[in-house]
Amino acid sequence: MRGLMIQGTASDVGKSILCTALCRILYNRGIKVAPFKSQNMSNNSYVTASNEEIGRAQGIQAEAANVQASVFMNPILLKPTSDQEAEIVLLGKRQHTATGADYRETFYEKGLEAISFSLAELKKEYEFIVIEGAGSPVEMNLNDKELVNMKVAELADVPVVLVADIDRGGVFASIAGTLSLLSKEERSRVIGVVINKFRGDRALFESGEKWIEEHLNIPVLAVIPHLVNLRIEAEDSLALDQLKKHHSPQRESIDIAVIDLPYVSNHTDLEPLLSEEDVSLRFVQRGEELGYPDAVILPGTKSTIAAVSWLHETKLYEAIQTYAKDGGYLVGICGGYQLMGASIVDTAGTDTGIVGKKVNGLGLSPLETEFRKDKTTIQSSGELLHYREINNPTIRGYEIHLGETVYLTDEVVPFLRLNGKYEGVYGESGRIIGTYLHHLYFHDEWRNTWLNQLRDKKGFNKREVVSYEKLRGRAYDQLADSVLKELDLNSLLNRIETWEKSQHGIN
């Protein structure tokens, strides 16, 4: 199996999106390719067909490669629950929560074993592997036990391309500094540099490209422009920051307020709303910011009980209750669904570490959530209830949650029939909706129906259904085409082959 690793001079330089592009490019070339990232730190996750949890980015990259995502594409997932701790997901299964220090002290050998095993499994099935690094390969305080960059390149025995973000400034120093801090052996793996997020006249960087090649003795493989509106999901908090900057280009729009919960998870649930031209998302952190939007979304969170305290501190607890009481539209997904209920009990201590801790939810629906030991990770399918105007009521998505939610009265109206059971809540004739199902807004007809209710209330014209799946499919090809305009694939593959021969003494 041949391969290539994409490392960066820093976080958010474009490693993930370049890996996604390469997966699509190689797939279009007829090569069976798999993505790989040894260790992800993100609350944005993806459930595989075998009901195992991996980082969202590798799920998206697998889609770009037109292969089924597997746990071997991301053997280690760290899901932050606080500034100090994260839940460890190993080979798709939840292990425990640990501090950073504990993780480094006790997990390194186990992590190496999982990474080596996963690479071996991928090698059996795929011709090429595109590996994504994390952060920078020269974090000198961490490199003695790193599991994400040069150690992975060594285990996979692949060359490295270094990506630098010119948009943030300091691109020459970041490249020179990174290369100078690598060991001689590590430096020998780097076969080229990609300059990412370039704005303006490409000719203006020709002298810069020449300087890098002459002074640093490394080829510039591509200068990729700043790509916008690709409609391809990203994975981490930096990507969430970009999502928060979204505003509708139209003066009059549907105003949707997203409650900006601490440790928000699976924020990609919101991505399909960006395909609607008249929708504006704004993220709210204080009660006085809420106002009276057309709808409120309570997204998922890794720390539901802590989120209740945060809602009180920010005065959003009372603001949301008042908004719902006054006739507002509200949708809660996963942790947001749990927050809507009457009470939340940490029965097993898996949410807070305090066994039996109990708090009151927002009280918007008669529900109680218990946090137990076992975690639900499953791809789910079912049927939308209550929507006669929808031609295809079948809905598919996934669930990732520790809590289990029960109805406290027989009067609760379910929202879905999911995996053969009633699920969620459908209150006030659809004005209040809660569900554990991620990808709710990926159902084009339901999203359109829900938005048309808001449009009708606001006096806007109803709109036709937008196919988000088609938009996303086109986005993969648009991304691949944009990268190929700057990157010579044949030259890159030749460089990989030359490196392989030099490493193994082949003339």
> Would you please indicate which residues are annotated as catalytic (active-site) residues?
334, 438
User: What are the C-alpha distances in Å from 344 to residues 96, 157, 174, 332, 364?
Assistant: 21, 48, 47, 15, 13
Residues 6+ apart with CB under 8 A from 237: 42
DSSP one-letter code for 149:
S
Residue type, 194: V
Maximum CA extent, the chain: 76
355 phi-psi bin (left φ>0, alpha ψ -120 to 50, beta other): beta
Angle (nearest 5°) at CA 382 between 378 and 387:
140
Half-sphere exposure at residue 294, Cβ-oriented, CA atoms within 13 angstroms: 21
DSSP one-letter code for 438:
B
Q: Which of 257, 154, 164, 265 is nearest to 208 (CA)?
A: 164
Question: Exposed/middle/buried for 441, CB within 10 Å: 0-12, 13-18, 19+?
Answer: buried
- What are the phi and psi torsion angles at 198 (to 5°)? -80, 135
- What are the phi and psi torsion angles at 219 (to 5°)? -75, 145
Pairing of strands 416-418, 367-384: antiparallel
Q: How far apart are CA 185 and CA 472, in angstroms?
A: 40
Tokens of 136: 């920078």
Residue type, 5: M
- What are the phi and psi torsion angles at 260 (to 5°)? -85, 70
User: What are the C-alpha distances in Å from 45 to residues 56, 203, 300, 470?
Assistant: 4, 40, 11, 22
Tokens of 119: 């690479």
Three-state SS at 237 = helix
Q: Which of 174, 156, 154 is nearest to 166 (CA)?
A: 174
Angle (nearest 5°) at CA 37 between 144 and 56:
130
DSSP one-letter code for 315:
T
- What are the phi and psi torsion angles at 124 (to 5°)? -70, -25
Q: How far apart are CA 366 and CA 362, in angstroms?
A: 10
Whether the Cβ atoms of residue 373 and residue 348 lie closer than 8 Å to each other: yes
Q: How far apart are CA 186 and CA 477, in angstroms?
A: 33
Whether the Cβ atoms of residue 370 and residue 341 lie closer than 8 Å to each other: no
Tokens of 251: 């003066």
